[in-house]
Amino acid sequence: MASIDMHHGQAPDLTIALPKGRLTSEAVALLGQVGLDASAAVGASRDLVTLDHGAGVRFLLAKPFDVPTFVAAGAADLGIVGKDVLMEVEPAVVELLDLGIGRCRMQVAVPEGSGVRGVEEMEAPVRVATRYPRATLAYFQSVGLPAQVVRLDGSIELAPRVGLADAIVDLVQTGRTLEANGLVAISTIAEISGRLIANPVRWKLKYDRIARLISEMRGLVPVRPVRGREG
């Protein structure tokens, strides 16, 4: 439908890519608090584009790992995405704000029965199952421990149980998934939360509009600036 992409017959002032899934409802709630209506993103509609006509803002619903792709390419001006994705993809985007949503940790975990309680106790080369090969290899390199990555797309906690890996690197929130699978966290790689990102060129071109949005968001939740205006 052509009209869905238009704002009173014109292009929208701003396009924001939202992650489909776990972060969607928190992101929509946050946007609602700054007067932007993205509520259709949490409804039953299968439409992947939703428009707040009054505000002139268009929302794109993308898979979390694809949000940086849309933003870096300029298909969206802004995006909301987990820090885990940014660490893994290292996209050409500007990270503007920590939104404080989707808080969890990226951790290294091992079978409880292994007796290992610190990465320094592990025997090299460590076989690590993860969805985050890049962040994992960077971490193990930083602690001087050779590692081999087994790349999985989910159910990471299964790998050590069936001898596919000695350890995992995954996101941990309540710790229930680790516990239920006989694993224990031995190290934290990073604190994770949702971030507001921008296409670097649009950040300059639409500075006033985006800066207004940032100051409105900053005034709300326990948000903190990650990086200032660049370039």
Ligand X SMILES: Nc1ncnc2c1ncn2[C@@H]1O[C@H](COP(=O)(O)OP(=O)(O)OP(=O)(O)O)[C@@H](O)[C@H]1O
Judging by DSSP bridges, how do beta strands 94-98 and 224-225 pair with one another? antiparallel
- Interactions with ligand X, residue window 82-141 (CB under 6 A): 82, 84-85, 102, 104
CA–CA–CA angle 36, 40, 42 (5° rounding):
105
- The reply to whether 68 sits near ligand X by the rule CB under 6 A is no
Select 104 or 122, whichever has its Cβ closest to ligand X: 104
The option from ligand X, ligand PRP, none interacting with 23 (CB < 5 to 8 A, set by class) reads: ligand X
The option from ligand X, ligand PRP, none interacting with 12 (CB < 5 to 8 A, set by class) reads: none
Site size for ligand X, by CB under 6 A? 15
Q: Tell me how far apart the alpha carbons of residues 159 and 77 are, in angstroms, rounded to a whole number.
A: 38
Residue from 5, 13, 25, 63 touching ligand X (CB under 6 A): that is: 63
φ/ψ (deg, to 5) at 83: -60, -30
Cβ-contact 52, 8 below 8 angstroms: no
- The reply to whether 106 sits near ligand PRP by the rule CB under 6 A is no
Residue with tokens 């000695």: 166
Select 22 or 204, whichever has its Cβ closest to ligand X: 22
- CB-facing half-sphere around the CA of 171: CA atoms within 13 A: 18
Q: Tell me how far apart the alpha carbons of residues 60 and 17 are, in angstroms, rounded to a whole number.
A: 5
The option from ligand X, ligand PRP, none interacting with 222 (CB < 5 to 8 A, set by class) reads: none
How far does the chain reach from its first CA to its final CA, in angstroms?
A: 37
Select 77 or 88, whichever has its Cβ closest to ligand PRP: 88
The option from ligand PRP, ligand X, none interacting with 170 (CB < 5 to 8 A, set by class) reads: ligand PRP
> Which string of x and - marks every residue 145-174 that binds ligand PRP (by CB under 6 A)?
---------xxxx------------xxxxx
φ/ψ (deg, to 5) at 78: -130, 165
List contacts with ligand X (CB under 6 A): 19, 21-23, 63-65, 82, 84-85, 102, 104, 171, 173, 192
